[in-house]
C-alpha cells in the first residue's frame, strides 16, 4: 500500500515538474519592415505629417483570409520602419494624400488594387510609388523681410491626371512652427498664413507668395516652415513640401 502511495506521489511530482518546461514560448518579434513612399512623378519621397499622414497597411494572410489590419505610421519625410514585426505573409498597401492604391467602387467591387503581397522576414524593404493629389514645390527659399516677417513662395500643381482625384483645393497654408515637426497637426496659428475656398482653389498652377501673420516675428530663434495643401477628398490629407529653417536674428 505504501509503495503504491509513493509511486503515485512521485508521478504527480514528475507531471507537475515537467509541465513547467517552457516549450511554448514564441520568439520575440524581430523582423524589420521598412521602405519609402515616393512620388511617381518626381521620384522623391512623398512628404507627409506624422500621426495623421501616410501609413502602411499590413494584412497578414498567413493565418486568416480576413485579418484585422495592422498599421505602421510613416515618418514625416515619407519613409517608414518597424523593427518589431513577426515574420509572415502580408498584403501591404499604403494610405495617405495620394491616389488610393486600393479603390472600391460604389457596388463594393475592387477596381484598382496595387497592394503588394510580400513574405516579410529578416529585413524586408517594400517601397511604394504613388500619385499625390497635389505637388507643392518651393520657388526659392523663404525670405526674411526687413520688417521681420517671412515671405514664402511656392507653386501648387496637380499630382495626378485622374479626374476622380482632382477635387477642389480646399486649403493652402504656409505652416510655421518653432521646431521641425511642422504641419497641420503642429503649427503656430499666430503666424501661419492660410488660403481657403476660392483663393485656395484658384492657386493651382500659379506661383504664390504668402507672408507670415502677426507682424514682426520674435527674434533670436529659428522658424521651421513648410507649405501644405489639400483637396476635399476622404480624410482631407495634406500634401507637403519638405521643411525649411529660417533663422531670425
Partner 1 sequence: MKKFPYIILTFLLCWTTACKKLDTLPPSIISDQDVFSSAAGVTAYMARMYSELPIEDFRYSPERGLNMFWIISPTSATTGEALSRDQNGSMQENTGLSTWSDCYRTIRDANYFSENIGKYAGNFTNDQVNNWLGEARFIRAATYFALVKRYGGVPLVDKVLKYPEQSIEELKIPRNSEEKIYDFIGTDLDYAYANLPETNQVGRANKYVAAGFKSRAMLYAGTVAKYNQISLVDGSGNRLCGIPVAKAVTYFKAAYDAAALLDGKYSLYKKAWAAGDKNAQYLNYVNMFFDASSPENIFVRQYHYPESVHGYDAYNVPRQLMGANGYSSEVNPTLDFVELFDGFPKNADGTIKTTTGGKYDLYTNTMDIFANAEPRLRATVVLPGDVMKGVSIEIRRGIYTGSSVGGINPLLPAGSTAHYPTDNIVQSANASQTPYKLPNGTTMNPAGLSGYFTGDGTNSVSGFSIRKYIVPDKPTSEVLENRSDQTWIELRYAEVLLNRAEAAVELNSLGQSDKSYLQDAFTQINAIRERGGADLLTGTANLTIDVVRKERKKELGFENKQYWDMRRWRVADKEQNSTIYRTLMPFYSANDGKYFFDARLDERNSRYTFDVRWYYEQIPQDEIQKSQNLIQNPGY
| Residues near partner 1 (CB under 8 A) | 52, 66, 68-69, 95, 104-109, 184-190, 192, 196, 214-215, 232-236
Residue 63 — left, alpha, or beta (φ > 0 → left; ψ -120 to 50 → alpha)? Answer: alpha
Least separation, in Å, of the C-beta of 182 and partner 1?
11
Place of cell 475656398: 197
| Residue with grid cell 513547467, as numbered in its chain | 20
Q: What is the spatial distance between Cα 39 and Cα 23, in angstroms, rounded to a whole number?
A: 47
- Nearest residue to 149 (alpha-carbon basis) of 213, 201, 103, 78: 213
Pairing of strands 221-231, 169-177: antiparallel
Q: Which is nearer to partner 1, 11 or 232 (CB)?
A: 232
Within 20-148, residue ranges assigned H as helices are none
DSSP letter (8 states) at residue 15: H
Distance CA 106, CA 118 (A): 28
Nearer to partner 1, 161 or 216 (CB): 216
Q: Are 132 and 37 in contact (CB under 8 A)?
A: no
Q: Which is nearer to partner 1, 32 or 211 (CB)?
A: 211
- State how far the Cα of 73 lies from the Cα of 50, in Å rounded to an integer: 7
Amino acid at each position: 500500500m505504501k509503495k503504491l502511495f509513493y509511486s503515485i506521489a512521485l508521478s504527480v511530482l514528475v507531471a507537475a515538474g515537467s509541465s513547467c518546461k517552457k516549450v511554448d514560448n514564441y520568439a520575440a518579434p524581430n523582423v524589420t519592415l521598412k521602405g519609402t513612399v515616393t512620388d511617381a512623378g518626381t521620384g522623391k519621397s512623398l512628404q507627409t505629417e506624422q500621426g495623421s499622414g501616410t501609413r502602411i497597411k499590413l494584412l497578414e494572410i498567413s493565418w486568416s483570409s480576413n485579418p484585422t489590419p495592422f498599421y505602421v505610421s510613416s515618418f514625416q519625410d515619407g519613409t517608414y520602419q518597424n523593427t518589431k514585426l513577426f515574420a509572415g505573409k502580408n498584403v501591404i498597401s499604403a494610405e495617405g494624400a495620394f491616389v488610393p492604391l486600393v479603390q472600391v467602387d460604389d457596388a463594393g467591387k475592387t477596381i484598382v488594387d496595387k497592394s503588394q503581397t510580400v513574405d516579410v522576414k529578416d529585413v524586408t524593404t517594400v517601397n511604394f510609388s504613388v500619385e499625390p493629389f497635389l505637388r507643392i514645390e518651393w520657388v526659392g527659399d523663404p525670405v526674411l523681410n526687413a520688417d521681420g516677417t517671412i515671405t514664402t513662395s511656392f507653386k501648387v500643381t496637380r499630382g495626378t491626371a485622374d479626374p476622380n482625384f482632382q477635387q477642389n483645393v480646399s486649403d493652402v497654408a504656409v505652416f510655421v512652427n518653432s521646431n521641425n515637426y511642422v504641419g497641420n497637426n503642429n503649427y503656430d496659428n499666430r503666424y501661419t498664413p492660410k488660403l481657403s475656398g476660392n483663393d485656395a482653389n484658384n492657386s493651382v498652377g500659379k506661383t504664390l507668395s504668402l507672408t507670415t501673420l502677426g507682424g514682426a516675428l520674435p527674434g533670436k530663434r529659428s522658424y521651421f516652415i513648410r507649405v501644405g495643401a489639400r483637396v476635399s477628398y476622404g480624410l482631407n490629407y495634406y500634401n507637403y513640401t519638405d521643411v525649411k529653417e529660417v533663422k531670425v536674428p
